[in-house]
Amino acid sequence: MRVIGIDLSGPSNHKDTVLTVFEQKQNELQFVKWMSNISDQEILTEIYEQSQLDEVVIGIDAPLSYEDGGGDRKGDRELRKFIVSLGMKPGSIMPPTLNRMVYLTLRGIKLSREIENLNVKYPISIVEVHPGAVIGSRLSKQDIEVALTYKQVRSARSFIRTWFTEQKLTQIPIEIEEESHSIDACAAALGAWHWKDPKYKPKWIFKAQPPLHPYDYCC
């Protein structure tokens, strides 16, 4: 199984988009590669190429649906409550139709549907993931501050890269620490792995409600 984590940015902001690829071997995910500053076409090409090798599981950090009428989806409200219970800040969960979120939501919806239309050899599955919540829900309580500061602080990102090894994400290069989008892409892969692999389970999940909300949402 190949596991891909994508930290998506808006469609005009390729430089903050990062994709990571891991390969499941025995009971761990081994780092394969990462790509940054990438377009939709580059993302689709990479997913297609990975799908010629094995089953692909994709965790995307972006809204993959929106609430008809605007505002929070039910899953957004539930996840916000969950992360607050962990000691995290509620502001990282924003309504998909909020002005600063709409272009990211547009890209997430468009890209997920284009992935579904790829002509692949092995199956692909997609889950919406919140990387900060993936990290915060698995850290010990005494380390929760790391989940609150890693976007700004290099030492917190260094801590998380080492901690990923404890979570059985191995061979992650030190360069991942340089900025938070790469950490988020790895965390998206971790969340997607625990969602898909029957030996694990998400720390929180809101099940898909098709047709308007066609993907599970988890951390």
**What contacts 145, CB < 8 A, 6 or more positions away?**
156
The confidence score (pLDDT) of residue 148 equals 96
The confidence score (pLDDT) of residue 7 equals 98
pTM: 0.96
Q: Where are the beta strands (DSSP E) in the chain?
A: 2-7, 18-25, 28-36, 56-61, 124-129, 169-170, 205-206, 217-218
- Look at phi and psi of residue 20 and say left if phi exceeds 0, alpha if psi is from -120 to 50, else beta: beta
In the chain the first and final C-alpha atoms are separated, in Å, by: 19
CB 167 within 8 A of CB 139: no
DSSP 3-state of 192: helix
Residue pLDDT tens, the chain, 219 long:
999 999 999 887 888 999 999 999 989 999 999 999 999 999 999 999 999 999 999 999 999 999 999 999 999 999 999 999 999 999 999 999 999 999 999 999 999 999 999 999 999 999 999 999 999 999 999 999 999 999 999 999 999 999 999 999 999 999 999 999 999 999 999 999 999 999 999 999 999 999 999 999 999
Closest CA to 127 of 60, 202, 193, 79: 60
Four-residue CA torsion sign, 144, 149, 150, 151 = positive
Closest CA to 63 of 79, 51, 52, 50: 79
